[in-house]
Amino acid sequence: MATINSSIVIISLPAIFKGIGLNPLEPGNVSYLLWILMGYMLVTAVFVVTFGRLGDIFGRVRIYNIGFIVFTVGSIALALDPFAGGAGAMWLIIWRLVQGVGGAMLFANSTAILTDAFPVNKRGFALGINQVAAIAGSFIGLIVGGLLAVVDWRAVFFVSVPIGIIGTIWSYKSLHEVGTSTKSTIDWPGNITFALGLTAVLAGITYGIQPYGGASMGWLNPWVLAAIIGGLALLVVFVVIELRVANPMFNMHLFTIRAFSSGIFAGLLAAIGRGGLQFMLIIWLQGIWLPLHGYSYEDTPLWAGIYLLPITIGFLIAGPLSGALSDRFGARAFATVGLLLNAATFLALLVIPVNFDYWEFALITGLSGIGSGLFSSPNRTAIMNSVPANQRGSASGMAGAALNAGSSLSIGVFFSLMIVGLSGSLPGALTAGLANNGVPANIAAQIGQTPPVGSLFAAFLGYNPIQSLLGPSVLGSLPGNSSAVLTGQQFFPELLSGPFHDGLVLVFVVAAAMSVVAAVMSITRGSKYVHDDSVVAPTPAAASASAV
């Protein structure tokens, strides 16, 4: 439920904005678009470590159960949005943030609860099922969102309500604390600096993809720079605090465990690549391929979800199987092969044409799902096996933070790379295409110089932006059937195809490189390692004293 809601909104955004009567592509509304899209993932990434540590202190099941309640309340409020326009968008943003708090409670403690409940020789399979539920949910959300958006935009949020109510009752009745709790005080300085620092960095990166002044992106915007630099400074302060306080929010000495640190950093890079793949494939299908194959823009969200099914199927096959096998053979081989397979599929997607034959696309994306499954389940099992029992909540939280922060970062990183790729060829293609269809040269040149981010968001949402770019006065003055051609299903997708592939080369080469670096990290994790809780690990304070 928690991960479906990170992607269900992505595919349903056109229906949601139409439902509240707001045009997301108007300059003043882009922030609404970004926060409805990003707010949930950002809050989940920020609070997942905190709630993991609170689970270590107060009980993982207790925090998990509260998370179900918070998430369900947020879902009900979202579905009952009483406003329209900007007020309606703000209502959705606020309650998506609340939903993100509940999601963080669930994310942070689910794997820790399973690690407590299962012996070492069965954890891989148990956590494999958990990771299938988590990551497959992000792909299933695309299908569910596409189906429900056709029915009613409120159904996108209502669908979580019965699951949340049943899950809340079920978890309270069936789950019992079997893990090790730690009597400790709450590290307020660590919690505050981590939350503020990560929020500032992720928010700054989010706003960096918006135009600023005459630039196509906002990376030189003083507020963006201040947010990113200030946020990084706060995260440095967080590390210093955690190394000095007696009861830290997160025991930084866990990073000295090679299996843990390698797994976390490999997971972060894999999450960035996986998030980037998801967004690029949605743009590719909704903005180009589906319209070129006769699908109306209103139907593209549904069919984009359906045509992305091979990723989910590949993941559902490989996830539990690799998790079970990692119980016996360890995580290194499976995780490394999975990452290298992902790198190969990124490059393979560059070989097929933009207007591909579907069997090629299905084969490559199916292999990508298998690669993600081979990596995710063994990697999470290795992380959880490597830490002491009383640190499993915070370790699970850190792994969840890497997953969710990676998904958030992927939007800023890959949208920026795509905009760089589009900037070289889209202005000329747009100007020439409009002029060739009767638009006056001066108007065509002016529209051609609009920031590429507008066209990118239009493709991402499955919109044809030509009508809003030209306006009724220009369209009404065009000769013959030029107006119908420009606003039809073929013109914008065909015009975007070439520049999009230019951007795709940059995006997927970087994503493949990230996967290779993650594979190198995975190799360095060492052979199978399970923490021995009979050996008492030093506390952070004792470790610091011995180091001095």
Residue-wise pLDDT for 176-216, tens only, equals 888 777 777 889 999 999 999 999 998 898 888 888 887 88
Could you give all domains of the chain from N- to C-terminal order, each with its CATH number? 1-175 (1.20.1250.20), 424-496 (no CATH)
Lowest-pLDDT range of 122-131, 516-525, 528-537? 528-537
For range 312-333, the mean pLDDT: 87
Most confident of 388-392, 441-445, 477-481: 441-445
What is residue 91's predicted lDDT score, i.e. its pLDDT? 97
Q: Find how far residue 426's CA is from the centre of its chain.
A: 27
What is residue 520's predicted lDDT score, i.e. its pLDDT? 96
Residue 379: other Cβ atoms inside 10 A: 33
- Cα→Cα distances 301→4, 159, 341, 460, Å: 15, 17, 28, 10
Confidence tier at 535 by pLDDT (50, 70, 90): low
What is residue 523's predicted lDDT score, i.e. its pLDDT? 93
Q: Report the mean per-residue pLDDT for the chain.
A: 88
What is residue 471's predicted lDDT score, i.e. its pLDDT? 82
Most confident of 19-28, 29-38, 81-90, 302-311: 81-90
Confidence tier at 534 by pLDDT (50, 70, 90): low
475, 467 Cβ separation under 8 angstroms: yes
> For the chain, how far is it from start to end, CA to CA, in angstroms?
47
| C-alpha span between 299 and 149 (Å, rounded) | 9
45, 206 Cβ separation under 8 angstroms: no
For range 396-415, the mean pLDDT: 87
3-state secondary structure 301-362: HHHHHHHCHHHHHHHHHHHHHHHHHHHHHCCHHHHHHHHHHHHHHHHHHHHCCCCCCHHHHH
CA-closest candidate to residue 410, choices 231, 263, 268, 265: 268
Residue 45 has pLDDT above 90, yes or no: no
| C-alpha span between 227 and 144 (Å, rounded) | 35
Q: What are the pLDDT digits (tens) for 323-340?
A: 888 888 888 999 999 999
User: Where are any strands of DSSP class E within 111-212?
Assistant: none
What is residue 431's predicted lDDT score, i.e. its pLDDT? 93
- Burial (Cβ within 10 Å: 0-12, 13-18, ≥19) of residue 165: middle
pTM of the predicted model as reported, rounded to 2 decimal places: 0.86
Q: Find how far residue 526's CA is from the centre of its chain.
A: 28
What is residue 544's predicted lDDT score, i.e. its pLDDT? 35
Residue 541 has pLDDT above 90, yes or no: no
Confidence tier at 356 by pLDDT (50, 70, 90): very high
Q: How many percent of the chain have pLDDT more than 70?
A: 96
The sign of the torsion formed by the CA atoms of 355, 5, 391, 198 equals positive
296, 489 Cβ separation under 8 angstroms: yes
| C-alpha span between 31 and 28 (Å, rounded) | 7
What is residue 69's predicted lDDT score, i.e. its pLDDT? 94
| C-alpha span between 92 and 78 (Å, rounded) | 6
CA-closest candidate to residue 383, choices 403, 368, 369: 403
- Kindly report the backbone phi and psi dihedral angles of residue 212, in degrees, each rounded to the nearest multiple of 5, phi listed first: -140, 120
213 vs 363, higher pLDDT: 363
| C-alpha span between 332 and 381 (Å, rounded) | 11
Query: DSSP for 45-83?
Result: HHHHHHHHHHHHHH-HHHHHHHHHHHHHHHHHHHHT---
Q: How many percent of the chain have pLDDT more than 90?
A: 45
CA-closest candidate to residue 391, choices 512, 486, 253, 496: 253
Q: What is the DSSP letter of 284?
A: I
H/E stretch holding 22 reads none
H/E stretch holding 390 reads none
387, 347 Cβ separation under 8 angstroms: no
| C-alpha span between 385 and 381 (Å, rounded) | 6
Residue 231 has pLDDT above 80, yes or no: yes
Confidence tier at 540 by pLDDT (50, 70, 90): very low
For range 447-466, the mean pLDDT: 81
215 bridge partner residues: 212
For range 442-464, the mean pLDDT: 83
CA-closest candidate to residue 432, choices 505, 499, 502, 504: 499
CA-closest candidate to residue 100, choices 202, 248, 234: 202
Lowest-pLDDT range of 131-145, 162-176, 286-300? 131-145
- Cα→Cα distances 477→121, 481, 483, Å: 73, 11, 9
Confidence tier at 312 by pLDDT (50, 70, 90): confident
For range 531-537, the mean pLDDT: 62
Burial per residue of 193-210, b for 16 or more beta-carbon CB atoms within 10 angstroms, e otherwise: bbbbbbbbbbbbbbbbbb
The number of CA neighbours under 13 Å toward the Cβ of 53 is 21
